[in-house]
Homo-oligomer: A and B are copies of this chain.
Amino acid sequence: MVECAACPLRRLAAFTRYGPEEIAFIQALKVGEMVVAARGSILREGDTPERLYTLLAGWAFRFKTLPDGRRQILNFLLPGDLVGLQAKIFEEAAHGVDALTDVRLCLFSRDRIWDVFRHQPQIAFDVTWLSAREEGLVDESLLSAGRRTAAESVAALVLQLHRRVSALGLATPAGVPMPLTQAHIADALGLSSVHANRTLRLMRQRKLFTLAGGMLRDVDLAGLRRLARASEGEGPVRPLI
């Protein structure tokens, strides 16, 4: 089990620095780790989860489903993201969380969240910060699903994920890891998977990017920004809990 003080994420420039006292406090909150295999469920819709999680490694996503099986992905979760805060707050999850790849999670005691607010206002503020940031991601997706064309939406999604993955230092010379199937892209943007496929072909033809084997390659960032009409997005640092 990873010691919080030695957490490999915490070394990244993407995360704010905490003092030893705060790290010790987080360490005291941590009750264990959990591993979930790719495609496994981390949190089911309607569940009352025992824990609050931070994603240590791997990809996951939040989603809602309709009774007939239609699924909407709400946002993707990458290392450092908090999982299950709403569920903690409302006692019952209004959304599910599934693992996209094999995933390692850091477990926090559910009851002790309250201690954070009582004793560590800085960390409490950062929890709120992360929650507001996630809402910002959902806002952006809603803009895509509601008002962007399929090509614009795909461009905006790829840009967002490219930015988030790069900030974590996960980009490699071989490309940027992006372990999504076309069905995930479709469900995130409100498209059918057939149309997602045709749109990806278009992106390839326009030389905006290629996405294959879980790797994003040959990205034309400027072209994507022009297409998505995206703003530059969040600043460089954020808290890690």
Chain A positions within 8 Å of B, measured between CB atoms, are 62, 64, 66-68, 70-72, 74, 85-86, 89-90, 94-95, 114, 117-118, 121-122, 124-125, 127-129, 131-136, 138-143, 145-148, 187, 189-190, 229, 231, 234-235
Question: Contacts A66-B229, A125-B124; is A134 near B135 (CB within 8 Å)?
Answer: yes
* B142-A90 in contact (CB<8A): no
In the complex, besides A66-B229, A89-B132, A117-B125, 7 extra interface pairs with C-beta distance below 8 angstroms are A62-B139, A66-B148, A71-B147, A85-B128, A90-B234, A94-B140, A114-B125
Find A135's partner among B131, B143, B187 (CB 8 Å cutoff): B131
Find the B residue at minimum CB distance from A122: B117
* A139-B64 in contact (CB<8A): yes
**Can you offer 7 A-B residue contacts whose CB atoms are under 8 A?**
A66-B229, A70-B148, A90-B136, A94-B136, A121-B124, A128-B131, A145-B145
A68 to B118, alpha carbons, bound, how many Å? 46
